[in-house]
Structure 1
Amino acid sequence: MEFQNVTKPQYDLVAVPESGGAKVFNDMVHSYLDLVQPNKFPSEILQKAIKKSEYDPKEILTYEVGFLVAVAIGLVFIILMILVGLFFPCCRCCGNCGGKMYQKQTKRINCKRRFLYVFLFVITLIILAGNICAFFSNNKITIAVKNTFNYYNDTVYVLENYIDSVPKQIDFIVKKSNIPIDKANNSVHDIGPILGGQIQNVVGKVANTTLDSVENVVYVLNATVIYMTAVNDSFNALQVEQQAISQNISDVRERIGKTVDKCRPDCTFSSDGLTMDANFSSIPDFSEPMKTVKDFLNSGIESTIAKARKTLQDIPGTVTNQTRKTASDIQDELLNIKQKINEMGSRISIDDSLQTVKKYFNTSNEFVDKNQQNVQRYDYYRWIVGICLCCIVLLVVVCNLFGLFCGPCGHREKVDPTERSCLSNSGGNFFMAGTGFSFLFAWLLMLVVGVLFIVGGNSYTLVCKPWSNKQLFTFLDTQVNLSETLNISNVNISSIYSDCQKDYSLWKTLNLKDKFNLDEYLNISQYTSDVKSTIEKTKIDITNIKFLSDSQKEKARNASNSGINELNFTHISQEMKKNITKTNLKSFTASLRTFADSVTNASIKEELRREADDLDAIQSSINTKLQPEIVKLNTSITNLKQISANLSESMNKALASTDNAQVFMDTKIADIVKNETNNFLDALLKYFQSYVDWAKLMITQNVGQCGPVAASFNVAQTVLCNYIVDSLNAFWFSLGWCTMFLIPSIILSVKLAKYYRRMKSSDVFEDPNDHLEMTSTSQQYLIPRVTAKA
């Protein structure tokens, strides 16, 4: 009996983690955070913080030392950037720190300019790459926050459907109890053909074999009688033909002798050989064996066999008639079993635990619905701020790029620094503008980076990383008593997640064997004991089968000992091998005709010819009448010998078989009925055992396969950590990247700006081919004067 497996709902709940370049960038951020925070998960510190017990602040500071060092560096950066930003313009306004609009001309000035240009270009590209990552990460955070609610709704929908599917699966299993009950009901309804058929098959193996052997003996005896009658009839017919032919031959022989005597002594012809050679006047007497066989055949043996077969065929009907009340009682018991199984389904229900979980879902849904708009609005504000911060960095990048573009385009190497073009001077101004923006906003960027670094970094190290390596579940197990919440013993978050990852059933995941004794609920005896008792009380009486009566057995023995297989047909066989006449009639007739032709007396010749014709008629009679009877007699004797050769042995075996079968029927029929009744009961119980085994398998392995629960955890981890936290970390990392590279950008921009800005005073060129320009303080062209040596 086959049962359909429990239907497993199809769930489409997948959140794909980042891949490609985004994953590489996130891995780089993770490596940096792992370097900043190499300490293991602070479960003890968190436990004390949650319980609000006394804890040592040094523990927290020790754990966060990596973050504190990084924040300290950030603070130093902010302070120095503010101080430098304040002093640097003041110094330049006073003509210091490269503030004088004068550039000394050297031989390597072009090489220096190109060197600074290339390095600033590379630094600008690096800042631009970080800025692009910041733009991208900032947008990803908004997308992640928006999609988080969709993923949350999908996850809750899947989990609610999953929770609702569990009672449906239990109901499905309970309803499948109709299959064994219907099977058993049909078997009870057809108890006559089924149980009676089983009894009939067992009894029939012995009875039919015996009856077949008796029928075969009866068939052989009937055939023997037929062949004996045929032998007797053939012999009688052969005797009549033999007497007629013998008389005719004798008459012809006398006439030939008289005719030949008429012509003596002129002619001589001998007819002494014209006599019968074969003699069929005697045959063995088998009238007594035939009478014995006929007595047995006429004893009503065929009626006895037919009655025995009918008794065998009536067994199913007999069982049907004798078990009507039993069948009705069993069908009533089957209805009771159905009610008990339905009660079993309600007893192993875990609706109370599942409803507790659904209450948490309802509370969570209310909280999410209440705060969704606020979260999205605040995220929009965050997105605006992020765009502004990215635009600040982009402003510096644009200034640098304009400077890198305009400076070289308007610059001429042979042109005096005081006469540089407007385009070249604009390039230098752009460099200085970028430097100014860098000083103005670098501290702000670093401040934002520091705050986001603390939030995002700790989110990764305290939530995402331990979530990934399962340490978070271990910590939650110490804080949340899931066994008490679900009213189920020996369960925790770690075990549930591990089992659900393997898509185990709720029975195994929640250790429901400690709450429900499934063997007790599915104990087959509590359902079938009444059925078993009812069937065992049933009384079935099968009419005993009689194979042969004592009189028939006696007549059968007489027929077996009648000697029919010992009849001697040797004499007849020898006679049938002889010629019919001593001389060959054809040859004799031919000789007689030759002799007649030699006789001169016409009347004698005519008589001899007539006598020859009479011999031809006798030969024709032998061929057409006597010879066929001989063949027929020979065939009948052969058949009789063959069929009666083993007749005595066959009859003795049949008698022994009937005796054994009769003893079997007289002594074993009650045991057969009892055994087959037990087999019928076992067949009924197997229906229920098969159902119980299937129900155990479904409940322990298939009901509530909790793969969706693990998938929900995975989706939550992917959305929270991979989409939100990683995007947040990527954002501050990108901004920090850009901010740190503002330092070399400032230095290179300030240095490179002087190579493109228009100077207020000129320096001489060191090229000997270029003219020398005098300044107001130059002493080159003074008239030499004599001076006294000391």
Structure 2
Amino acid sequence: MSPANEPEAPSRAKPKAARCRKRRQRRKRQIAYLAICFLSVAGFGFALSTMIRPADAAIGKDGKDDPNEERNPQLEWRSGFEGLGTTHEQMGELHWAPVDYTEYKASRNLTRVHPSQSTAMNPIFNFTHFLYDRLITDDPPLPPGYIVLQGESLALGPKFQEADFRDLISRYWLVLLWILFLIIIIVVMPFIAICYCCFCCCRRCRQGCPPCTSKADATRRLWCGVCLLILIVGLIFGIVIAFVTNRLLDRGFEEATVTMQRATEDICVFLKDVADHVHHLMVYNYEEMQTHITDELSHAHKHIFLDLADTSESTSLGELERILHNVPEAARLMKQVAKMETDLRFYGAQLRDGLRGMKRDINFAVANLCTTQECQTFLSTSSIETIDTSKCLHFDTMPNASKYMEGLNIIVKNNYVKIPTDALTRLEKVSLQVKEQLSIVTPGMIRDLNGGKDTFRKQARLIRNQVDALLSEIHSKTSHSSRSFDDVYDKFGKNRSVISIIVCMIMIMILSILIISLLCGCFGRRKTGYRDDCCSKATAANCLFLAILLIFCMISFLTLMGLVYFMVGLVTYQGACAPFRDLDKNMLFRQLDSMIDLNHYMPRSGEDAGKAIPPLRISNALKMCEANESVFDMLRINKIYDINDITRIKVMSSTHADPEGAKVFNEDLSKVEFLTGTDLENLNSISEGAAGAYHSELFKDLCSELTPVNLNVLGEKLYALSNSLESPTFGWARVSFWNEGLNAKSYYQNYVPKLTSMIKKMNTNLKLIDELILYQNKNFNESINTLVTTAKKSQAFVQTQGKKFINELGNNLTATIEEMITEYITMVINESNENVGRCEPLAYIYHQGVDMVCHSIVDPINGFWVGVLLCALLCLPILYVSHRLMCLYKKIYPYMAAVASHVDTAYEGGYVNVHFTSNFSHC
């Protein structure tokens, strides 16, 4: 219908039609815009591609190389394969095996002496540290002359030797007051003792009225006894401190030599471990890399040839050679199959005919001789009707194996196995050409590797010498520092122990007397003045008097010993303990550190001998070792040796000097021919011959299920059916079924095992023949044709791309060797910076020596004066309390004396019945 004849749309539909028309126009404009943009982009890309010439094309035109020799890297060497197209590359393996380095196993066994976990004297030592830190606040803490630098360690200065403490005392007024107080005790106490003894103060005690003041005296005795008990406890505490610290001091002096010897042995072990580790990395691991690369270079021609054969699929010649080489064995097996096939057909036909006769007789017996339901049921359930129809019993579709045997015999007779053998020989010539070309390149690489071995051996020797010098000197300086104040032992060690024991024994003697007097005073009788017991208050008073005399005699000596140890501890603490707790702020350590410059002892290489390097301070070395940094970090930070500089070592100089040397192969392979025309004709005749159609799948009907039911079982059923029928009604049927049962068993015994074994043997032979002469499970014809086609492609690849492929592998080999060397250098750097010579053991050895000096000698010295002075100062109140308590114990109670006299008289006169009451007052 024309538009003119179309019916007019309703007026209400006009706006909708207009909107649709506008939408279509808009869509057309959008499509036009997109087409214009696409054409513009395409034109611009075409113009850009024609204006810019590829670099490869320029080289091919102007350079010496043929542009056809350069392969476009975007193209595939082998269809469907990445990279160079080798099979092992697709499996994730590298073309050239990486180096397997042996890890260094440290055999060092440093001695680790763990500090005692139960140090009960730590609070006392911490108290002395706190006291000295609060008293000594100046920097330097000690005036000159008290501590001197003797050699490379600290020693007591001449002012200390001469006991000239004026400068020290004048600087610290608290120390001055403390020393004045102790000196006053030392000087004044002998005079007080003389006055006490000479003016009879020791015996002058007012008696008063004991009966009147009995209660008050008891109270005084109680409080004085408690005070004396508290003072005795403090005295015990001071004696324990003095005795234990004296024992610790003896042990510290005894272990000083052992500690230094152990530190020396440890540093030797540590140095040997560092040297062995460096030698392992730079010599042994390099030799492993060198051996690996040399082995790769020695067998590079084989590797390149195998990769060429893999990528070009020249391995098809090997498969073809395998097939034709196996043809004689396959022909022998096929001959057996042909013989068994004839027998199988013969015996199978006999069994099939016998089964058909048995089926006919059973059907006749059921139809005519036995019309019961039982016979009918047996016929329908025993598979008699299909007993001769099994496909395993019909061999009509089975091919004639004799034909395949004749075809294989023809191959053997014509000796066609020489075809792939000769082709492989021609292919092997390519390997010889590659080997010949590589023999020109590899000697230079091996020479470079030998030169690199000498270079890294020199680096290892240089590093070992520098590390040995560095660590040995650090150990020497730290060991000297840790042997500071050896003269303390020389001056005080010989007689100190005897004097300290005497001091302890004096304090123990005083303590024992005080304890005895307190016990007697508490539990003994009051003094009566008449026949007092040995354990009475009179005895307590005498013991207290003895203790007072002993204290007066020894308090000056005890105070003097405490003062001496205080001064020794003050000076040695500032020299041995305080400097190493705050290395940066302590003037003594800065003085010691400033005089030790390890650069004087560092061996330097010739090119670095004239460079000015800032001195390496022992403080910096200790900080690095405490952080457990590597020795190489210490060398690098102090600009002595930087292990990262070995990255500048160039081992493979030959490839860098001659870039064209990377082309390892320059032979012409365009005339290489694997299969000649005659070879191809012969291979074509093989594939089209009598054996061409062979495949074991053609014998798929060879199966062992000859009958649907087991004939032995069928015979038993026929026997059972015969016996179940009544006689003589079904006599003939019984005889017929019985005879057929005999036939079934006879057929099974004579045919089934024989046929089954032949079928099994034939299947086994056919599988072996498949493995021998088939390729990729194709029939013989397709196998030969596939391999021939692949061989032709391989020949074309070698002729056109073989040279480029070999050079590509050669370049890959060179790049891989460079990468191996780079990875080795990176491994050496990382291992050196992370695992070689972690100097934390060195800091431990140093701190062990400092701990020996500070914690084992200086701290016990300070602990000893704390204990001795504590006892000496406690003796002052003990004197007063003991005197007061002695006077209380001396009071005589007359009433107690009269009662005692009356009791004695009663016993002497024979009175038996005596009654008296007495009250005893005890402390």
Confirm or deny a common fold (TM above 0.5): yes
Q: Which residue of 1 aligns with 2:710?
A: none
Q: Which residue of 1 aligns with 2:217?
A: 109
Distance 1:87 1:552, change over 3 A: closer
Query: Which 5+ residue runs of structure 1 have no aligned equivalent?
Result: 53-59, 220-298, 561-644, 766-790
Q: Which residue of 1 aligns with 2:500?
A: 386
For 2:143 and 2:780, locate their aligned partners in 1 and report how far apart those are by CA, in whole Å: 103
8 Å CA contact retained: 2:627, 2:840: yes
For 1:463 and 1:80, locate their aligned partners in 2 and report how far apart those are by CA, in whole Å: 30
For 1:41 and 1:7, locate their aligned partners in 2 and report how far apart those are by CA, in whole Å: 50
Distance 1:455 1:696, change over 3 A: same
Q: Which residue of 2 aligns with 1:28?
A: 124
SS at match of 1:733: helix
For 1:717 and 1:498, locate their aligned partners in 2 and report how far apart those are by CA, in whole Å: 15
8 Å CA contact retained: 1:29, 1:733: no
Match of 1:17 among 105, 115, 122: 115
Comparing 548-557 and 307-316, the one that deviates more? 548-557
Alignment of 1:474-493 (within 5 A): 476=589, 479-480=593-594, 482=597, 484-487=599-602, 489=614, 491-493=616-618
Q: Which residue of 1 aligns with 2:278?
A: 170
Distance 1:71 1:452, change over 3 A: farther
Q: Which residue of 2 aligns with 1:581?
A: none
User: Comparing both structures, which one devotes a greater share of its residues to helix?
Assistant: 1
8 Å CA contact retained: 2:559, 2:869: yes
Q: Which residue of 2 aligns with 1:611?
A: none
Match of 1:201 among 306, 310, 314: 310
The amino acid across from 1:498 in the alignment is K
Q: Which residue of 1 aligns with 2:667?
A: 541
**Are 2:432 and 1:311 equivalent residues in the alignment?**
no
8 Å CA contact retained: 1:138, 1:386: yes
* CA drift at 1:76: 2.5
Q: Which residue of 2 aligns with 1:426?
A: 539
* CA drift at 1:419: 7.1
Q: Which residue of 1 aligns with 2:636?
A: 511
Comparing 138-147 and 170-179, the one that deviates more? 170-179
Q: Which residue of 2 aligns with 1:700?
A: 833
**Are 2:858 and 1:725 equivalent residues in the alignment?**
yes
* CA drift at 1:146: 1.4
For 1:437 and 1:379, locate their aligned partners in 2 and report how far apart those are by CA, in whole Å: 27
Q: Which residue of 2 aligns with 1:2?
A: 100
The amino acid across from 1:497 in the alignment is L
Q: Which residue of 2 aligns with 1:401?
A: 515
Distance 1:558 1:166, change over 3 A: closer
User: Structure 1 length normalisation: TM-score?
Assistant: 0.63
What per-residue deviation string (whole Å, max 9, x for no partner) do you get for residues 507-561 of structure 1? 112326833343443545334536985963643537454467789999999999x
* CA drift at 1:388: 1.7
**Are 2:850 and 1:735 equivalent residues in the alignment?**
no
Q: Which residue of 1 aligns with 2:904?
A: none
Comparing 375-384 and 387-396, the one that deviates more? 375-384
Query: Highest relative contact order (Cα 8 Å, sep 6+), 1 or 2?
Result: 1
SS at match of 1:511: helix
Alignment of 1:446-465 (within 5 A): 446-460=559-573, 463-465=576-578
For 2:287 and 2:570, locate their aligned partners in 1 and report how far apart those are by CA, in whole Å: 60
* CA drift at 1:103: 4.7
8 Å CA contact retained: 1:304, 1:548: yes
What per-residue deviation string (whole Å, max 9, x for no partner) do you get for residues 201-228 of structure 1? 333xx44469989999xx9xxxxxxxxx
8 Å CA contact retained: 1:396, 1:437: yes
What per-residue deviation string (whole Å, max 9, x for no partner) do you get for residues 690-732 of structure 1? 4323332343333333233111112112211211111111111
Distance 1:201 1:101, change over 3 A: same
Cα RMSD between the aligned structures?
5.5
8 Å CA contact retained: 2:243, 2:504: yes
**Are 2:264 and 1:156 equivalent residues in the alignment?**
yes
Distance 1:198 1:435, change over 3 A: same
For 1:703 and 1:693, locate their aligned partners in 2 and report how far apart those are by CA, in whole Å: 14
The amino acid across from 2:543 in the alignment is F
Comparing 725-734 and 27-36, the one that deviates more? 27-36
**Are 2:227 and 1:119 equivalent residues in the alignment?**
yes
8 Å CA contact retained: 1:195, 1:680: no
The amino acid across from 2:469 in the alignment is L
* CA drift at 1:179: 1.5
* CA drift at 1:79: 1.9
8 Å CA contact retained: 1:483, 1:489: no
For 2:440 and 2:866, locate their aligned partners in 1 and report how far apart those are by CA, in whole Å: 87
Distance 1:656 1:707, change over 3 A: same
8 Å CA contact retained: 1:202, 1:672: no
User: Structure 2 length normalisation: TM-score?
Assistant: 0.55
* CA drift at 1:402: 2.9
What per-residue deviation string (whole Å, max 9, x for no partner) do you get for residues 108-132 of structure 1? 2223223322332332233133213
Match of 2:188 among 52, 77, 83: 83
SS at match of 1:393: helix
**Are 2:245 and 1:137 equivalent residues in the alignment?**
yes
For 1:193 and 1:87, locate their aligned partners in 2 and report how far apart those are by CA, in whole Å: 110
For 1:485 and 1:42, locate their aligned partners in 2 and report how far apart those are by CA, in whole Å: 33
For 1:170 and 1:507, locate their aligned partners in 2 and report how far apart those are by CA, in whole Å: 11
**Are 2:187 and 1:187 equivalent residues in the alignment?**
no
8 Å CA contact retained: 2:573, 2:858: yes
The amino acid across from 1:383 in the alignment is S
Distance 1:492 1:314, change over 3 A: same
For 1:519 and 1:742, locate their aligned partners in 2 and report how far apart those are by CA, in whole Å: 70
Answer with 1 or 2: which has the greater Rg.
Answer: 1
Distance 1:332 1:130, change over 3 A: same
The amino acid across from 2:294 in the alignment is N
For 2:148 and 2:258, locate their aligned partners in 1 and report how far apart those are by CA, in whole Å: 34
The amino acid across from 2:130 in the alignment is D
What per-residue deviation string (whole Å, max 9, x for no partner) do you get for residues 444-498 of structure 1? 3223222322331454355424524555789635742545445564743343223
Q: Which residue of 2 aligns with 1:437?
A: 550
For 2:143 and 2:597, locate their aligned partners in 1 and report how far apart those are by CA, in whole Å: 17
* CA drift at 1:16: 3.3
Identity of counterpart residues, as a percentage?
Answer: 16
Query: Which 5+ residue runs of structure 2 have no aligned equivalent?
Result: 1-98, 150-164, 327-413, 603-612, 688-777, 897-923
* CA drift at 1:382: 0.7
8 Å CA contact retained: 2:482, 2:853: no
For 1:155 and 1:338, locate their aligned partners in 2 and report how far apart those are by CA, in whole Å: 36
What per-residue deviation string (whole Å, max 9, x for no partner) do you get for residues 191-210 of structure 1? 3323333333333xx44469
Number of aligned residue pairs: 609
Comparing 747-756 and 376-385, the one that deviates more? 376-385
Q: Which residue of 1 aligns with 2:254?
A: 146
The amino acid across from 1:496 in the alignment is A
Distance 1:182 1:41, change over 3 A: farther
The amino acid across from 2:293 in the alignment is A
